Amino acid sequence: MNSRAFGLACFMALAAPASGSPSAEPAAQSVEPVGSVAAAATAERLYAAEGALTLSFETLGTFEQRDGVRALILHATANRYLRNVFTYVPDDAFGEAHIISERRLEVVLKEGHELNTVLSGLPLFVTVDTFTGTPNHYTARIEVAPRFYDFRGSSAVWVEENVTPYYVVNGGDWLVYRGGVDSQASHLSVTAPDGAPAVSRVDSDSFQLEWRYPSLYQAIDPHTVPLTFTAALTEGGTAQKTGRLVARVTSLALTSGDAYDVWPSPSCQVSTYDCIQDHPAGATDLSACGTYREVTRCLFADACEVSAPQRRDVHGPRGPVAEHLLHVQR
């Protein structure tokens, strides 16, 4: 067996469930999430149902002062009386959850590390225990992301709804948030009281917006203040549009099973690993290889998580870019 075939077989062995072992669980017994939904740009609330529980989250989070710091507050409602709620990320308690009335709860993510971590693409789990119903123990999985909405103004300026996290090293920071604007314009400026992005041209009719976390946070808190986009059109004149950047619940799923079985942590994808290895040593912008989380899963992948042929033995098992980034993160 050649090295490529061996590496791929090793990768697939980890990714696929055992089928020939007597101890393997039958597929019919696997627990699947019920009611997994993603938010449209205009959705105000997401719903998910499993067993006796229907849970809904307001998609738009709000900022409040909690324990002396600003925090993103997410509100949810259940159809059952709540007994206990708790928030975590895999293997670690994270954020806070509180019952605020018999059937209502809130999730609190403090500004700084907690908020930045979730906005960068890490899902948040929320356990929900109810007094009645069968079953009465559930886990919700939510994703929160920066999103533009409430656009007003000229159609000559088109602002992408999504703002996406990428791995781009700048000193001790390797997380950047990027958005985009399309306009037939020779120049684009974006203004705001706080949190205006850096703007750069991509091609003749598109521009890139870029925030590091501190400025992104300033742009979304308060979420009621819009950003203003002003384009100098190539055909003459100017066009202007406003839009609000907010922290939005973009997906919700609910299960009564084991959250680690239902939503296992994703592994490094071969295409992402290959892309990283194709960058020269010392490369700092890995946005072409995937999102921030997709890239970070591959930086320190072991031999059975990626195909063998892509490894550069002369640079050690991690390859040139990963070795550089390991040094940066230390």
pLDDT in tens, 4-60: 333 333 433 333 323 232 222 222 233 334 445 665 666 899 999 999 999 999 999
Average pLDDT value for residue range 191-200: 97
Q: What is the CATH number of domain 35-145+248-262?
A: 2.60.40
Q: Which of 149, 99, 144, 158 is nearest to 250 (CA)?
A: 144
Question: What pLDDT does residue 319 have?
Answer: 44
Residues of the chain with CATH 2.60.40: 35-145+248-262
How far apart CA 119 and CA 92 sit, in angstroms, is 17
- Percent of the chain exceeding pLDDT 70 equals 78
198-220 mean pLDDT: 97
pTM: 0.81
CB atoms within 10 A of CB 298: 28
Q: Which residues pair with 206 in a beta bridge?
A: 182, 203
User: What long-range pairs does 215-221 form, CB within 8 A, spacing at least 24?
Assistant: 216/119, 216/146, 216/163, 216/177, 216/245, 217/111, 217/115, 217/116, 218/192, 218/194, 219/192, 219/194, 219/195, 219/245, 220/63, 220/146, 220/195, 220/245, 220/246, 220/247, 221/63, 221/70, 221/72, 221/111
* pLDDT greater than 50 at residue 313: no
Torsion of CA 70, 75, 80, 81, to 10 degrees: 30
Q: Record the tokens describing residue 235, joined without a space.
A: 């055909």
pLDDT of residue 245: 97
* Residues 24, 20: Cα–Cα separation, whole Å: 7
Convert the pLDDT of each residue in 180-195 to its tens digit.
Answer: 999 999 999 999 999 9
